[in-house]
Chain A
Amino acid sequence: MSESSEGEDVRELFVQDGVLLFSATASFINFVKSVGTLMITEYVDNRRFVEWKPIDVTVDSDIQDQEWAVVNTVERRVRTLSGNVLPEHKNRSKYLRINFEEIKSFRISDKSRRLTFNDGKTEQICTYLFQHGNCEHLVGFLKTLVKTVPSRRDKHLFIILNMNDPERERIDKSFAELNVCNDSNYVWNIWNFQERPVVTTLEAFAKITDLVYRVPQHREMDDDVKEILNKSITEYQHTSTTLSNGEYEVIDCVSDLPNRRDFPRGRALCSEQWNGVQDQEGRIEDSECLKLIIFQGGIVPSLRQEVWKYLLDYYPWNSTHSDRQKLILQKSDEYFSMKLQWKTMTKTQEDNFTDYKERKTQIEKDVTRTDRTIDFYAGDNNPNLQVLNDILMTYVMYNFDLGYVQGMSDLLSPILHLMQSEVDAFWCFVGFMNQLSANFDADQVGMKEQLSNLHTLLAFIDPELATYLDNHDSGNMFFCFRWLLVWFKRELSEEDCMSFWEVMWTGFPCENFHLLVCCAILDQEKQSIIGNNYGFTEILKHINELSGQLNIEKILNDAQGIFYQIKESDRLTDVIRVLLGLPVLYNSSLDNHETSPFVISIETSNESSNHPPECSVDDVRISPEEIQFEKSISSNFI
């Protein structure tokens, strides 16, 4: 928000009277609750603003609570002017002016009577109340000037795809490389032109942006857009060859992966199927087939308790009834003897054993605050908390090096709830920890590696988003830390979490599938992140706030779709193959993976997409010591 300087040539493109300033930042506090005129203006330098000027009628502060009061002194006036250069602009300095560039989104509420502009950070810029009628005229006009998309999360919120956005600029710049395939359903391969077509109308850009930003499954294009595009095309060439003349940077936001297919969830594994696959003695013959069923549809809840023991390597798939009876006895003995070890530790022993004591204290601290909202763990002195505690303590004796790290109680909680048995829960937990122990490394190596792998995968699937994150201090993917550490336990309801974990435990369809799950969610949130121009803090906040909002079926569907997009991609690299456990072809060397062919940059010597920049906050002053310090952090962390 800025105060305008005087004496500029300005055109009022749109004017509406009787608009009350409902809230604004402190510098316009004097005018809050005043009525005025709202305008959309354009200055000679082509900058556009939303401007509001007060008239001398102030609403009594007594009635502030009524949101707004009708003031009868103002006549209704809505008009759209064009080409009308105003002679008097002496008083514009008092106006509340918002540069179009500042507006990242706006929200319409209160039956279209209330309009709020947001700056894309966490703040709103200001809110207006429309006393006469509603804001639809204004919004309608605004939409002719800027391209907006409704937010996925809030249908009243419209995100502006800003003309001056770097993304937009790239789209502009790279317009030349766009081409339309004949298949109207799927487009956006990258092409290169030798000549830059002239694109004149804003509308054309708006439509292109719209297409580029749209989620892949609804890529359809109006005929007039096709026409615009086709007119602009002079010559083209497929990118995966090379770019010949270094004039434009290839728009890397348009992925050339195959179309994303849909993988609707299947039916959950049921008792008939389960019993059907066991032989007379209780062996499970085709465990791979079973896992595939589970991967596609999960397990019916009543069967979970039994099947999880196999998935978590407590029961071997090929064990017979009698094998398992023996196993249970033996594992039970083993458990209780380990439990006895810590149960019989004396106070002096503990005092002389700092590492042990630390683990013990941390477990006590965490057990009291793990899933207490779930009935099974709710209430004071709930005996299940003691069991949770005992299992974790016994795990310390089982694997002292790993010990106990925050997050583990989250992993155990659903298992114990399901198993309802201390011994079974312990051994299933052991199986789970065998898969996840790297998450709890003392030096965080395991987590760093996963975060970096996630970045590698994302850069392959969606270079635009990966680049955006790199440029916004988020290339370390740290905002996904909680997702990965406890496998979405904090993001999902207990029921969803169980469904999710069992799918992951099958090991289908590839290694590191959980990272593709992350990519699927990020793909879904891309619009909000980029559209709002979020930085490090906003991204982390946004991602944390997805907790409780994720639709696990959709995410699994998308993640599977992404997997096949990668697998069937003709630019699949060995690094990606290795990450996903796919066979590496042609003995090709792993060394030349770094620059994947699709991220081509000309003129600009982009850093490799695998290395996020250390710091790129523009408006921040950083002292030399701090730069030094930041370097040491990123070298420690990345």
Chain B
Amino acid sequence: MEHTEPHSTEPEMANRQGAAQRPNGAQGKICQFKLVLLGESAVGKSSLVLRFVKGQFHEYQESTIGAAFLTQTVCLDDTTVKFEIWDTAGQERYHSLAPMYYRGAQAAIVVYDITNQDTFGRAKTWVKELQRQASPTIVIALAGNKQDLANKRMVEYEEAQTYAEENGLLFMETSAKTALNVNDIFLAIAKKLPKYDQNQGQSGQGQGRRLAEGDQGAKTPGNCCK
């Protein structure tokens, strides 16, 4: 079952090939970021990625085994941001594999299901683990997914928001089904990430996976997108 996107907050998506074609031809920067999705099984990690990358939703999205890797490119002001997205398997049994995927990630989306309190508890554990183990500069976003099922809500918006504020996380309630806030959460992350222009680097496009790291100069306000 597929739902078309009913919704207005579309970022300027670059075309599939990732070549950012800008009408008025301003020279843009290109940044590439590694982003990992974590969270309890069946909270909708794969569904969020599928919505963001392909604009689709599958009611019966199959569970993830191992991990999946996808990319999406978005244009943000004068910058082309390419996300390298790692979608992981949620079940606790596969927890020991997660570090392989979040190592070196510049951003993470920790997902829970607003209709299931346990998944929120699990999300908090993920946040703690990331804060302890992942790159210290990692940008973490918390996504309360399945917002379309708000009538079955078990996690209050305020509760999650307070938690997010206390921990310095971006926070949004999302719905992979209706597309609510899906692009927005990725864009919000893109805005928060330090930008470093790959075209000016020696390495050329697509070389370094962790360009932003260790490059303190990149974090000066002049280099950041608003």
A405 sits at the interface (CB 8 A):
yes
B114 sits at the interface (CB 8 A):
no
B183 sits at the interface (CB 8 A):
no
Interface residues of A in 522-552 (CB under 8 A from B): 537, 540-541, 544
- Closest chain A residue to B41, Cβ basis: A365
Interface residues of B in 182-214 (CB under 8 A from A): 199, 203-210, 213-214
Taking a contact as CB atoms under 8 Å apart, the answer to whether A373 and B60 are in contact is yes
**Segment among B2-10, B94-102, B141-149, B170-178 that sits at the interface with chain A:** B94-102
Taking a contact as CB atoms under 8 Å apart, the answer to whether B20 and A29 are in contact is yes
Taking a contact as CB atoms under 8 Å apart, the answer to whether A482 and B66 are in contact is yes
Known A-B contacts A405-B91, A406-B63; the reply to A23 vs B19 at CB < 8 A is yes
Residues of A within 8 A of B214 (CB): 621, 623
- Closest chain B residue to A443, Cβ basis: B96
**Segment among B25-33, B49-57, B152-160, B161-169 that sits at the interface with chain A:** B25-33
Interface residues as binary, A14-34 with B (CB distance below 8 Å gives 1, 0 otherwise):
000000000111110110100
B74 sits at the interface (CB 8 A):
no
* Docked CA distance A372–B29 (Å): 43
- Closest chain B residue to A410, Cβ basis: B65
A630 sits at the interface (CB 8 A):
yes
Residues of A within 8 A of B28 (CB): 26-27, 29
Interface residues of B in 93-122 (CB under 8 A from A): 93-94, 96-97, 99-100, 103-104
* Docked CA distance A366–B61 (Å): 10
Residues of B within 8 A of A263 (CB): none
**Complex partner residue of B93 from A405, A537, A621, A636, CB under 8 angstroms:** A405
Taking a contact as CB atoms under 8 Å apart, the answer to whether B65 and A490 are in contact is yes
* Docked CA distance A295–B41 (Å): 37
Residues of B within 8 A of A24 (CB): 19
Interface residues of A in 242-260 (CB under 8 A from B): none
Residues of B within 8 A of A406 (CB): 41, 63, 65, 89, 91, 93-94
Taking a contact as CB atoms under 8 Å apart, the answer to whether B65 and A485 are in contact is yes
Taking a contact as CB atoms under 8 Å apart, the answer to whether B19 and A124 are in contact is yes
Taking a contact as CB atoms under 8 Å apart, the answer to whether B103 and A626 are in contact is yes
Taking a contact as CB atoms under 8 Å apart, the answer to whether A619 and B207 are in contact is yes
B181 sits at the interface (CB 8 A):
no
Known A-B contacts A443-B96, A444-B97, A626-B103; the reply to A29 vs B27 at CB < 8 A is yes
Taking a contact as CB atoms under 8 Å apart, the answer to whether B17 and A123 are in contact is yes
Known A-B contacts A25-B205, A365-B41, A619-B207; the reply to A442 vs B93 at CB < 8 A is yes
Residues of B within 8 A of A637 (CB): 96-97, 100
Known A-B contacts A29-B25, A121-B206, A485-B65; the reply to A372 vs B60 at CB < 8 A is yes
Known A-B contacts A29-B27, A119-B205, A119-B206; the reply to A23 vs B21 at CB < 8 A is yes
- Closest chain B residue to A33, Cβ basis: B21
How many residues in A have their beta carbons less than 8 Å from beta carbons of B?
Answer: 62
B131 sits at the interface (CB 8 A):
no
Interface residues of B in 208-223 (CB under 8 A from A): 208-210, 213-215
A194 sits at the interface (CB 8 A):
no
B67 sits at the interface (CB 8 A):
yes
User: A85 CB to closest chain B CB, in angstroms?
Assistant: 27
Known A-B contacts A26-B80, A544-B68, A621-B214; the reply to A2 vs B100 at CB < 8 A is no
Taking a contact as CB atoms under 8 Å apart, the answer to whether A27 and B27 are in contact is yes
Number of CB contacts from chain A to chain B under 8 A? 157
User: A55 CB to closest chain B CB, in angstroms?
Assistant: 17
* Docked CA distance A544–B69 (Å): 9
Known A-B contacts A27-B27, A369-B61; the reply to A623 vs B213 at CB < 8 A is yes
Taking a contact as CB atoms under 8 Å apart, the answer to whether A27 and B96 are in contact is no
A216 sits at the interface (CB 8 A):
no
Taking a contact as CB atoms under 8 Å apart, the answer to whether A123 and B18 are in contact is yes
User: A615 CB to closest chain B CB, in angstroms?
Assistant: 9
* Docked CA distance A544–B98 (Å): 18
User: A363 CB to closest chain B CB, in angstroms?
Assistant: 11
B22 sits at the interface (CB 8 A):
yes
Known A-B contacts A619-B203, A621-B213; the reply to A26 vs B66 at CB < 8 A is no
Residues of B within 8 A of A25 (CB): 19-20, 30, 199, 205
**Complex partner residue of B103 from A29, A123, A633, CB under 8 angstroms:** A633
- Closest chain B residue to A447, Cβ basis: B97
Taking a contact as CB atoms under 8 Å apart, the answer to whether B213 and A485 are in contact is no
Residues of A within 8 A of B71 (CB): 122
Taking a contact as CB atoms under 8 Å apart, the answer to whether A23 and B27 are in contact is no
B133 sits at the interface (CB 8 A):
yes
Taking a contact as CB atoms under 8 Å apart, the answer to whether A617 and B209 are in contact is yes
Known A-B contacts A124-B19, A444-B97; the reply to A362 vs B91 at CB < 8 A is yes
Interface residues as binary, A612-638 with B (CB distance below 8 Å gives 1, 0 otherwise):
000001011111011001100100110
Taking a contact as CB atoms under 8 Å apart, the answer to whether A1 and B100 are in contact is no
Taking a contact as CB atoms under 8 Å apart, the answer to whether B41 and A122 are in contact is no
- Closest chain B residue to A116, Cβ basis: B17
Known A-B contacts A29-B21, A440-B93; the reply to A366 vs B63 at CB < 8 A is yes
Residues of B within 8 A of A358 (CB): 92
User: A151 CB to closest chain B CB, in angstroms?
Assistant: 17
B13 sits at the interface (CB 8 A):
no
Interface centre among B60, B66, B215 (most CB of A within 10 A): B66
Taking a contact as CB atoms under 8 Å apart, the answer to whether B22 and A633 are in contact is no
Q: With contacts A362-B91, A617-B209, A633-B99 known, what are 16 further pairs, Cβ within 8 A?
A: A23-B17, A26-B19, A26-B20, A26-B199, A29-B27, A102-B204, A369-B61, A373-B60, A443-B96, A444-B97, A481-B66, A544-B68, A619-B208, A621-B213, A629-B99, A637-B96
Chosen A-B contacts, 13 in total, with CB atoms closer than 8 Å, are: A2-B204, A29-B25, A32-B19, A122-B71, A122-B206, A369-B42, A369-B62, A406-B65, A478-B66, A479-B66, A537-B209, A541-B69, A630-B103
| A-B CB proximity, top 7 nearest | A372-B60, A26-B28, A481-B66, A365-B42, A621-B214, A30-B25, A121-B206
